[in-house]
């Protein structure tokens, strides 16, 4: 299983904001810190703001910051929201499955169990756990504004 880019970027945004909790941050700063597309991050920021994970402000001096304490952001809950297509194999969608052995196959049950275990494992962690090495992360995610030529 591989997380979607959307889930990956969701975690990156929250980690950045958790590390820089005393600052208002822009999408551009996060994009530059990670070397990723600001366009993709804009969608992520919108999702996080709608869910109350972050607070945003538009206009000059605007930006974003965490809307919840890091210990209140549960990773399992977050990933259940961002990983909306959890159909690991064709038979997970019984309406469109064309699998010839589905009625006798045990694989679907095994994969459902594995997926449940994956999310239960994430349920044990919060954003606070991810930002525990805060000083090291802050140094790695320093924002250096580009100088005008």
The helix (H) or strand (E) run that includes residue 75 is helix 75-82
- pLDDT tens series, the chain, 149 aa: 788 999 999 999 999 999 998 889 999 999 999 999 999 999 999 999 999 999 999 888 889 999 999 999 999 999 999 997 666 666 666 677 777 777 788 888 888 899 999 999 999 999 999 999 998 998 898 855 554 44
Same domain, 83 and 41: no
Same domain, 134 and 68: yes
Same domain, 41 and 109: no
Contacts of 111 (CB under 8 A, 6+ apart): 88, 89, 92
Number of domains in the chain: 2
Same domain, 67 and 1: yes
Q: Which residues of 97-119 are buried (b: 16+ CB within 10 A; e: fewer)?
A: eeeeeeeeeeebeebeeebeeee
- Structural domain boundaries, residue 50: 1-73+128-149
Where residue 144 sits, what CATH number does that domain have?
1.10.10.10
For every residue of 96-148, DSSP letters joined together read T---TTTTT-SHHHHHHHHHHHHHHHHHT-BHHHHTTTHHHHHHHT---PPPP
Same domain, 12 and 56: yes
């Amino acid at each position: 299983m591989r997380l979607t880019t959307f889930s990956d970027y969701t975690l990156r945004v929250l980690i950045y904001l958790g590390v820089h909790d005393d600052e208002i941050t822009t999408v551009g700063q996060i994009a530059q810190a990670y070397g990723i597309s600001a366009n993709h991050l804009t969608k992520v920021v919108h999702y996080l703001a709608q869910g109350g994970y972050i607070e945003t402000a538009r206009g000059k001096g605007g930006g974003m910051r965490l809307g919840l304490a890091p210990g209140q952001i549960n990773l399992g809950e977050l990933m259940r929201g961002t990983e909306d297509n959890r159909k690991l194999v064709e038979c997970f969608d019984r309406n469109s499955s064309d699998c010839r052995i589905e009625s006798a196959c045990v694989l679907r049950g095994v994969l459902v169990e594995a997926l449940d275990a994956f999310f239960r494992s994430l349920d044990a962690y919060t954003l606070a756990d991810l930002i525990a090495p805060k000083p090291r992360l802050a140094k790695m995610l320093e924002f250096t504004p580009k100088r005008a030529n």
